[in-house]
Amino acid sequence: MRKSIALVTGASRGIGAATAELLAKQGFFVIVNYLKSDKAAEQLIAKIEQDGGHAIALQADVSIEEDVVMLFNAIDEIDGTLTALVNNAGILLPQSTIENINAARINQILTTNVTSYFLCCREAVKRMATKYEGIGGAIVNVSSAASRLGSAGEYIDYAASKGAIDTLTTGLSLEVANQNIRVNGVRPGFIYTEMHADGGEPDRVERIKENIPMKRGGQTIEVAQAIAWLLSSQASYVTGSHIDLAGGK
């Protein structure tokens, strides 16, 4: 029986790593995509295999078209079928108001956070769609509560990039619904990850948790569980949906 392959982009840390680990426990052969953190990726592979799962790490900058094509070509060489894609790779730059945001920053955010999702979706659809003799599959795009909240005074460029992902999720779900491909999104809120340090405030969740209705930040496994459900047969009639994981915010 051919393996069901799941590709998780940006999987060396945070939500991506938690998702890769959970999907491996559920029987997927997991592709752990990473950009620079080869050591972290290899440590994750070792943990997955220690727990009885199967995974390999593949380096690629998914914001670059040639890298995405190479990544998917490498997956084609594996004995299995790509049935799941989790678009998770993304960046956050230091907190800033609009006055200090330049075109280079905007373009970096959009290329990394938006272009990468489009490219990976494109390649996944080419392999999953029934019109290309695929068997179908499921795609989950990791967005953010920032797409709804706007991140005023901190990350409006990041928030706007995630708004684009929400639209991609809606549009693509309709485009491939008759190809046995489901496309859904998750919108994490204030989750304890290393990404906050990238924005210049490692303890951001602690600062704002009292403003969250549930009075706490979220854990990466809580997001991973929602992603895994959307990829599973339990969500077989769910497409074009967005699950908010923001503690009521």
What's the pLDDT tens digit per position in 211-246? 888 889 889 999 999 999 999 999 999 999 999 999
* 228 vs 187: CA distance, rounded Å: 14
CB 243 within 8 A of CB 184: yes
**Is the pLDDT reported for residue 196 higher than 60?**
no
User: Which pLDDT does position 242 carry in this prediction?
Assistant: 98
For residue 78, the 8-state DSSP code is S
* 96 vs 89: CA distance, rounded Å: 21
What positions carry a catalytic annotation? 158
User: For residue 194, what pLDDT band results from cuts at 50, 70 and 90?
Assistant: low
Nearest to 71 by CA among 89, 53, 54: 89
What domains can you pick out in the chain, each with its CATH number? 3-245 (3.40.50.720)
Across 156-160, 174-178, 198-202, least confident range? 198-202
- The set of residues, in sequence order, having a beta carbon less than 8 Å from that of 41 and lying 6+ positions away, is 11, 12, 32, 34, 57, 59
Nearest to 138 by CA among 108, 182, 101, 95: 182
Partners of 182 in the beta sheet?
138
